[in-house]
Amino acid sequence: MNIENETKRNFYLEETIKSNWSVRQLERQINSFCYERLMTSENNKDKVRNEINDLGNKLDIKNFIKDPYVLEFLDIKNTRFLEKDLESNLHT
């Protein structure tokens, strides 16, 4: 792990051990700023932690075969969308 902040690095190490994250899950949590979301949500820490654990505990064959994509930055509101919507958001 190439995280300079020791507190942040320790957080990811502890969560990886406790939640039994795969390398892909750990990378996804780092890339989606899991630590920052948890630290900035003082009132909702339990909610954020449960969300993180729920994402890590989904054992589905699809999760083992495909790499997950973190697309939160595209700000697509619907969970179901057309490929052209994804493409247009990626090109802007």
Per residue in 47-72, pLDDT (tens digit) is: 666 766 665 555 555 555 555 566 67
Residue 88 has pLDDT above 60, yes or no: yes
The Cα 55–Cα 37 span in angstroms is 15
Q: CB within 8 A of 82, min separation 6: which ones?
A: none
22 or 60, greater pLDDT: 22
The predicted model scores a pTM of 0.49
Average pLDDT of the chain is 75
Question: How buried is residue 29: exposed, middle or buried, by Cβ count under 10 Å (0-12/13-18/19+)?
Answer: buried
Position 35 scores a pLDDT of 85
